[in-house]
Amino acid sequence: VTAAVIITSTLKKLGAKVEVYLPHREREGYGLNEEAIRYLKDRGVSLLITCDCGVANPSQVSLANSLGLTVIVTDHHQAQAELPAAFAILHPGLAGESYPFKFLSGGGVAFKLVQGLLRYEGCHLSQTEREIQEKWLLDLVAISTVADMVKLTGENRTLVKYGLTVLRKTRRLGLKKLIEVAGLNFDDLDTYAIGFQIAPRINAAGRMDHANAAYALLMSENSTEAEELARSINLTNSQRQAITDVMFKEACEQIGKINIKTFFIQAYKPEWSLGLVGLVAGKLVQQYNRPALVMCQVGDKIAGSGRAGVGGFDLANALTACSEYLVSFGGHKEAAGFSLSINQLENFLSKFAKLAKAHLSGQDLTAKLAVDAVFTLDKIDWHIAEQVELLEPFGQGNPGARFASYGVLIANTQPVGSAGQHLRLELSFESSHQRFIWFNSAESSKQFSIGDKVDVVYEVGVNEWNNTRQLELKVVDIKKSDS
C-alpha cells in the first residue's frame, strides 16, 4: 500500500491520470493476476507499474505485453530463474544490478522510481517543488522499510532516520488520524511504533478484507473522511489481533510437544484466514525457534505462508527446491508465501522437512539471546542512554543494544496498561534501585514474586512525556538467578 501511495501521489503531482488496482489478498493472492490485467486494459490503461510485486510473474507480464500494455516492474522479492519481459525492472537485488544497496523495501524501490521521475530533465516541477515532494514521501518510505523487515543498515538506515523525522510532522491527514487513534505521541514515534503500532494497523485492512481502505486512508485529504477511516481500520486491527490469537493457540495445540529432532513446524486448518497465516507463522517462530509454515484452504488449493527465523535458513530457496509440488510461490529469505494442490501436501512437507534437516543443526534450534554488556544497576545512567541513541534507528540487521544485570532483587511490581498486560518492576542491587517496564508480560510474569533474585536482560532508552525525559529500561527477558 505504501509503495502504491508513493508512486501514485507523485504521478498525480506530475499531472498523470492514474488508476490504482490493489488485489484482494484472499481471492486474488499476491502479485499480478490475469483477470486484473484484462480489467485494467479494458479501463484504457496503457502503462502498468507494479508495486512490490511482479518479478515472479513472467507469464502475467507476457499477457500484459500481448495486450499492448507497457510494464514497469518495481519489486524487491527474490527473483526466480525466468525474469518477466517487462519494459523495465527496478529491483536492487537482481544479478548484475549495479545499484550499490541491495536491500531496499518495496516502498524503497518505489521511492527510487519517484526520485528518477523527479530528476528527469522533462519534469516540469521546480527544484524546490521536487525536493519538497521527495521529502514528504519519506514517512511512507520509513513505514515500508520497517514493515518489510529488510535490513536496517546502509541506505535503509538513512531513509528510516530521516523518515522518522518526517513522520513525526507528517502532513498526511490519514496517517495523523491513525497515529492519534492508536494513542501514540508524535514526538516519540520510532521504529518500534512503526513495527508494532502503525504498520499492523495499515496492514490489517488487507489482511482482514481489502487494502483499498488503507490506501484511501493514506491518500485522504478530507479530515472527516480520514478520521472515519482511521477509526474503522483501528477496529479492524483489534479484530485482527483477536483472530490471530485464536489461530495461534490452535496452531500450538496442533504442534504439541517438539524435540531437538524437530527441524521445522507446520500447522494447517482449512478455515484459517489467508491474510493472517503469516502473522501466526511469525509468532510460532518466536515460540519454538524453528522455521514455521502455516496453511489454510483457498478454493481447491492450499495456500500458506512461512517464516524462517533461525540458523540462516533460506525460505525462498527452500520453496524453490520444492517447486515441483507448488502451484505458485514467492518471497524472501526470511518470509514467503506459496500455494499447492491438496494432493501434494504430503510430498511438499516431506521434501521441506529434508531440506530443513539438511540446513539446520541442534545448535541452530537452541534459542540464544545476545548481550552487548553486563552492568550493575548503579552503572545505568544518562550517558549510556545517550550513547545508545546515537546507534538508532534499530531494526533488522541493526538490533538495539542489550544489557544484562545478574543477581538483582525484585523489590516491587505493579501491573500497568489498560488490561494490566504490562508490568512495572523495581529491581535492586545493594543500595541501587532501577525501574523497568516489561511489556506484554501478564502470563510470563506469574512465575516471579517480590523478593526473588533474578537475572535480567534489557534495553536502555529514553521516555519523553509531558515535556519530561526519563530513563526507560525495557525488559527483554528475565529468569530466576542460579546464584
At 367 the pLDDT is: 82
Q: Hunting for cell 552487548 — which residue is that?
A: 372
pLDDT (tens digit, 9 = 90+) per residue, 55-98?
999 999 999 999 999 999 999 998 888 999 999 999 999 998 99
Please tell me the pTM assigned to this model.
0.87
Domains and CATH numbers, the chain: 2-167 (3.90.1640.30), 256-359 (3.10.310.30), 373-480 (2.40.50.460)
| Listed residue (155, 176, 181) closest to 393, CA to CA | 155
* pLDDT average, residue stretch 188-206: 93
Per-residue confidence (pLDDT) for residue 259, from 0 to 100: 84
- Where is average pLDDT lowest: 24-28, 55-59, 400-404? 24-28
**pLDDT greater at residue 365 or residue 265:** 265
Mean residue pLDDT across the chain: 93
Distance CA 357, CA 362 (A): 9
Q: Is the pLDDT of residue 337 over 90?
A: yes
Q: What is the pLDDT of residue 112?
A: 97
| Cα gap 281→267, rounded to integer Å | 9
Of 70-84, 135-149, 194-208, 463-477, where does mean pLDDT reach its minimum?
A: 463-477
Question: Tens digits of per-residue pLDDT, 346-397?
Answer: 999 999 999 999 999 888 888 888 999 999 999 999 999 999 989 999 998 8
466 has a pLDDT exceeding 80: no
pLDDT category of residue 470 using cuts at 50, 70 and 90:
confident
- Measured CA to CA, the distance from residue 177 to residue 173 in angstroms comes to 6
Residues 330-344 have a mean pLDDT of 92
CA 20 → CA 17, 35, 253, distances in Å?
10, 15, 41
Question: 482 pLDDT exceeds 80?
Answer: yes
